[in-house]
């Protein structure tokens, strides 16, 4: 059976292992947050650069066409980059989560079961040892009573009176105790009684040694039980925190999934805008179509308060590009799209998972070592059974 000291050592190792795994997971989550949000900022800046070319009219000027193609390509690439970063970091975070789940199922749960087994065995063995101790004590008491009774008989006239009857003379009794009696039966009976008393005394000496050994064993088992209880109490909060961290990792994955889906939509829309606005499509894709595509991109990108300001700047550029002498010159379709986008900006409600993304990442900054410290601070006394020698394993 694994000792309490060994189980404690394993628990400390698992706490250190989990701390390392959690730090890795936290680093991946923090890196994901920084990479994806910064990628979105870059993509929106690329989008704002695209807006600048709506000021120019579609011409056959090769330099303008090349500039437009470069800007559109950079915009498309930037959104594809966000999609790739979100996907890569989501996979990395998923791998970290899987390692922690495996740690929980393959390491922590078996250890907790071992601790419970140690506690159950200790309690059962204590009951058995106490029962044995009680039996020995009862036998000693019974033997002591018998010894006292026999001593009383040997030190009185009861023995010869029983054997010889009332008619035996006092002389015969005296002869019995001096060994001069001719009645060998009384002498033999006395010798047997003395021998029996001596045997009982020897038996009691042995029983007292066994009782002392049983008492020592009970003390050892009680120390083992106390250590097992301490372990069970200690592993409980640790297990709960591992489960809590696993749930918090899900909270970190949620915004990444949202961003990945949004980035995928943005990359597709950016690819569509770039393809339609390329030099080969200028005849069928005019300035209003281009602006409509940009506003569609902005609507899709409006999911995080961190990028809301960028979108407002892009909208301002669009309005500027379509304003002549203070009058907005957009056609009805484009104006309706602009109104829809501006309404979305005004009524913008951040996605809760994204707003709490940073807090969710910070919540993973956790050290299991704190559990050990708090548990030790709550202990009373120093004898917790963890310093027992290796003989404890034999219990």
Domain count, the chain: 1
Percent of residues, the chain, with pLDDT higher than 90: 26
* pLDDT at residue 391, as a whole number: 43
Query: What gap in Å lies between CA 127 and CA 137, rounded to an integer?
Result: 15
Q: Whole-angstrom Cα distance, residue 262 to residue 296?
A: 13
The pTM assigned to this predicted structure is 0.65
Cβ-based neighbours of 334, under 8 Å, separated by 6 or more: 288, 291, 292, 295, 322
Closest to 81 (Cα-Cα) out of 53, 27, 28, 45: 45
> Which residues are registered as beta bridge partners of 328?
323
Instruction: Choose among 5, 35, 80: nearest CA to 357.
Output: 35
Model pLDDT for residues 132-153, shown as the tens digit of each residue = 999 999 999 999 998 888 888 8
Report the share of the chain in percent with pLDDT over 70.
78
Half-sphere exposure in the Cβ direction for 212 (13 Å, CA): 6
**pLDDT value at position 308?**
84
Domain contains 166: no
Selected residue with higher pLDDT from 90 and 365? 90
pLDDT at 167: 35
172, with CB counted inside 10 A (0-12, 13-18, 19+), is: middle
Q: What is the pLDDT of residue 251?
A: 82
Among 88-97, 134-143, 215-224, 246-255, the minimum mean pLDDT is found in: 246-255
Q: Which of the two residues, 316 and 328, has the higher pLDDT score?
A: 316
- Among 29-43, 90-104, 342-356, 359-373, top mean pLDDT goes to 90-104
Give the DSSP H/E element, type plus range, for residue 328: strand 327-328
Q: Is residue 217 part of a domain?
A: no
SS3 assignment for 181-203: CCCHHHHHHHHHHHHHHHHHHHH
Q: Assess if residue 306 is contained within a domain.
A: yes
The predicted pLDDT at position 97 comes to: 87
Q: Which residue has the tokens 């001719």?
A: 182
Tell me the mean pLDDT in the region 331-351: 90
Q: What are phi and psi of 17, to 5 degrees?
A: -60, -45
Q: Please answer whether residues 246 and 97 qualify as being in contact, where contact means their C-beta atoms are separated by less than 8 angstroms.
A: yes
Nearest one of 261, 230, 247 to 83, comparing CA atoms: 261
Residue 395 or residue 36, greater confidence: 36
pLDDT of residue 249: 85
pLDDT band for 206, please (50, 70, 90 cuts): very high
Mean pLDDT of 34-49: 82
Any idea which of 60-69, 238-247, 306-315 has the lowest mean pLDDT? Answer: 60-69
CA distance 194 to 9: 58
Q: What is the mean pLDDT of residues 217-237?
A: 93
Question: Considering the domain boundaries, does residue 122 fall inside one?
Answer: yes
Decide if 172 is inside a domain.
Answer: no
Q: Is residue 230 part of a domain?
A: no
Nearest of 304, 267, 274 to residue 38 by alpha carbon: 304
Can you tell me the mean pLDDT for 13-18? 90
Domain that holds residue 16: 4-126+238-375
For residue 290, tell me if it sits in a domain. Answer: yes
Q: Is the pLDDT of residue 178 over 90?
A: no
Q: Is residue 42 assigned to a domain? A: yes
């Amino acid at each position: 059976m694994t000792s309490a000291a060994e189980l404690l050592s394993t628990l400390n190792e698992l706490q250190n292992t989990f701390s390392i795994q959690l730090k890795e997971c936290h680093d991946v989550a923090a890196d994901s947050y920084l990479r994806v949000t910064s990628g979105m900022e870059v993509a929106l800046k690329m989008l704002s650069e695209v807006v600048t070319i709506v000021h120019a009219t579609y011409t056959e000027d090769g330099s303008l066409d090349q500039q437009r193609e470069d800007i559109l390509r950079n915009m498309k690439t930037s959104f594809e980059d966000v999609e790739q970063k979100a996907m890569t970091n989501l996979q990395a975070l998923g791998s970290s989560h899987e390692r922690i789940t495996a740690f929980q199922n393959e390491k922590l749960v078996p250890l907790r079961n071992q601790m419970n087994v140690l506690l159950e065995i200790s309690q059962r063995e204590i009951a058995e040892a106490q029962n044995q101790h009680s039996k020995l004590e009862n036998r000693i008491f019974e033997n002591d009573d018998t010894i006292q009774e026999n001593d009383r008989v040997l030190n009185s006239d009861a023995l010869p009176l029983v054997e010889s009857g009332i008619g035996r003379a006092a002389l015969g009794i005296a002869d019995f105790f001096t060994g001069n009696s001719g009645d060998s039966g009384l002498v033999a009976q006395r010798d047997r009684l003395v021998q029996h008393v001596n045997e009982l005394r020897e038996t009691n000496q042995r029983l007292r040694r066994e009782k002392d050994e049983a008492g020592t064993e009970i003390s050892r088992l009680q120390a083992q039980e106390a250590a097992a209880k301490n372990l069970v109490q200690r592993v409980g909060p640790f297990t709960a925190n591992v489960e809590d961290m696993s749930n918090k990792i899900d909270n970190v994955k949620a915004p990444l999934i949202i961003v990945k889906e949004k980035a995928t939509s943005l990359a597709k829309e950016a690819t569509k805008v770039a393809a339609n606005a390329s030099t080969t499509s200028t005849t069928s894709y005019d300035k209003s179509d281009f602006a409509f595509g940009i506003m569609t991109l902005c609507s899709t990108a409006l999911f995080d308060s961190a990028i809301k300001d960028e979108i407002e700047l892009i909208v301002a550029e669009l309005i500027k590009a379509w304003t002549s002498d203070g009058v907005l010159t957009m056609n009805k379709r484009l104006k309706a799209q602009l109104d829809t986008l501006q309404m979305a900006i005004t009524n913008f409600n951040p996605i809760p998972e994204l707003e709490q993304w940073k807090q969710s990442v910070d919540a993973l900054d956790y050290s299991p070592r704190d559990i050990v410290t708090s548990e030790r601070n709550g202990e009373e006394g120093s004898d917790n059974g963890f310093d027992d020698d290796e003989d404890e394993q034999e219990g």
